[in-house]
Structure 1
């Protein structure tokens, strides 16, 4: 049986066209997590691991109403945090991390959320993906946080194929035109969430279907 031919990589022109179309569909992309300041964004993103944004928002609505700063979160205590987020998966460990990162932000960073990836990754429960989201959304940095949606879209379309999230992230940074880097993270997530879905991509209503390298496109 002949080996399947590897699809041609995206050219710079194709990548520009790809993001231009996604931008046309969603001119002002943004996270779907609710937050009120950089601190609550860190908490929300940390809570979103293995959970849906909708589920996180339901839990944080009441949590952030009483604890929207590190000081208030510490005053709430680990038990109080746990009670607010018990509807979210892995809530016990997440409550422990939220309490610990709140203390660390107060003690090590003067109550302000750090703005570098290296410092953010020192916070309990914060990895590279969470750090990239915070840098992008809260501080306007052109970072790309590779979650399951972005990983799938990048590999399925052929835009930035990779064996792991870091490989995909580095390829996306290289192929994405500079004018689209700031919004690339959100465009790719939203495209993966609503169009290029895991089980059955909606290829018939996809703005980039003709650029996509995916062979098994679903009919219109």
Structure 2
């Protein structure tokens, strides 16, 4: 009896790892981390990040020695790189009323940040990662809210000091946080509308300008 020799089906070979420059490989890892953390929050594991980047976990650690350094890179990519340096000039341009400057700024700023990944990472940081939220809070206070307080003081001709107290930041934080929550609601409901957003920004600034006028007038 002849025995037919069975042919072995060759196993599927793993796709060879692409050769990338260290900079490109690092960017790929950060991209994978951004994608994962936007879905799971900052609790996502480095093992899953490595899987998403198509590399091994030991290779990931050659670029990021610990998860904290990876989170810092994600923060820089998503939160810091969304800032346009030209906005600093817009906010400081005293040839225009404060409200007009901040209206222009917030329309451009929300265009940049009202994106699913940015809003989800901000939401996760607010809820579960005090350190990332702390980094973001510091940048917002120094680059947006303190300038708003100082420029409004100058416009009203009162309390021209450089220092801004924690109490003075409460109203600007209500303005800023309210706009971020508006963006999150629009994302969840799918009702994003640039024209409606400009009106919401205007209303929020109207309320702050009225509040600051009343408050600073009492402080004269």
Same fold by TM-score greater than 0.5: no
| Structure with the greater alpha carbon radius of gyration | 2
Give the alignment's TM-score, normalised by structure 1.
0.29
TM-score if structure 2 supplies the norm length? 0.29
